[in-house]
Homo-oligomer: A and B are copies of this chain.
Amino acid sequence: MLKKSDKDQIFEKIYNSYKLFVEKQLKVFNGNRTPYTVYSPIKYILSAGGKRFRPILLLLACEAVGGKLSEAIYAAVAIEMLHNFTLIHDDVMDHAELRRGRLTIHKKWDENTAILAGDEMIAQSYKVLLKTKSSALKPVLHVYTDALVQVCEGQGLDKEFESKKNVSLADYFKMISKKTGRVISASTEIGGIVGGGSKKQLIALRKYGECFGKAFQIMDDLLDVVGITKQFGKKIGGDIKEGKKTYLFIKAMEKVRGSDRKFLLSISPSVKLSEVFVNRTKKIYFQSGAIAEAKKEILKNTRKAQQAIDLLPSSNAKSLLMWLPRQFLERTF
């Protein structure tokens, strides 16, 4: 048996070969398409890198049920574009300045450009998706459109929560399952559909995506506090400044009393927050045990994701799907 580090290295190599495959397809947006107002920002964001893990999950899910990569590639590209549309519009709504270590589109250009580029990205994503082979097209479109519906609803809940003080953990989980979970679970479900998976396999793949998505969002919440801008690609403390109801905020609110509780309750997106404010919030998150609980929740959902696809037949794709969540959530590459 290989040592863990050797296994990781091999899997990373395989992961990167899938990534190259996806990026080759995305390069069609690298030309000088007109109108520039619309396509320059699309080229900008699609060439900014990123983990491409949603399209890779889609490709792996397809292979894991016996399907061919060539049949799933269009849906994979579409899902990456759908994800990038959400980044563009969410960054406008969240006043985010950095994405993947570069200026966000509305900062580099302006808000109108970002709105329009996001809209065109949805359009182009459907255009690519429609190249999927006919027999799978209808169910694929249903899942894909459901992901688009849910991701908008999730963003709506996320924005509503900013001005609410009493968001429960159940509310939070509902919100992230829509905002983050559904695009990820749609990736694995669509991969399964294109690959010709059985109903049981599709349910398993969707469940895997849901759990992975949950773990992923809590990790994202965590990185907003403990991450490093250069690695994270976003400004640290952004969620705190926007008054986001993250896992950490809700968990900390369950645990703290007195002046710390009062302090957390005073956070509002309308108030311009200083670094001192952000640092005190971080301290409360650590001391209350919210950070530790977040790590536990991530681990739990990572395991649930792996268990969900246990029933799939052995294959390299399945091994990679098993390896990916843990690896990913440690953000070691």
Given A115-B89, A115-B92, check contact A145 B130 (CB 8 Å). Answer: yes
Q: Which residue of B lies closest to A127 (CB)?
A: B145
Give 1 or 0 for each of A26-38: 1 = CB within 8 Å of chain B CB. Answer: 0000000001111
Task: List B contacts of A70 (CB < 8 A).
Answer: none
Given A130-B145, A137-B138, A138-B130, check contact A160 B35 (CB 8 Å). Answer: yes
- The smallest C-beta distance from A37 to any residue of chain B, in angstroms, reads 4
Chain A contacts with B in 130-149, Cβ cutoff 8 A: 130, 134, 137-138, 141-142, 145-146, 148-149
Task: List B contacts of A12 (CB < 8 A).
Answer: none
Whether A138 lies near B149 (C-beta < 8 A) is no
A120-B152, A134-B138 are known contacts; what are 18 more A-B pairs with Cβ within 8 Å? A35-B153, A37-B156, A37-B157, A38-B156, A89-B115, A112-B159, A116-B152, A119-B119, A119-B152, A119-B155, A122-B148, A123-B145, A123-B148, A123-B149, A124-B149, A126-B126, A126-B148, A137-B138
Residues of A within 8 A of B (CB): 35-38, 89, 92-93, 111-112, 115-116, 118-120, 122-124, 126-127, 130, 134, 137-138, 141-142, 145-146, 148-149, 152-153, 155-157, 159-160
16 examples of A-B residue contacts, CB within 8 angstroms: A35-B153, A35-B160, A38-B156, A92-B112, A92-B115, A116-B155, A119-B119, A120-B149, A120-B152, A122-B122, A122-B148, A123-B149, A127-B149, A130-B145, A134-B138, A141-B141
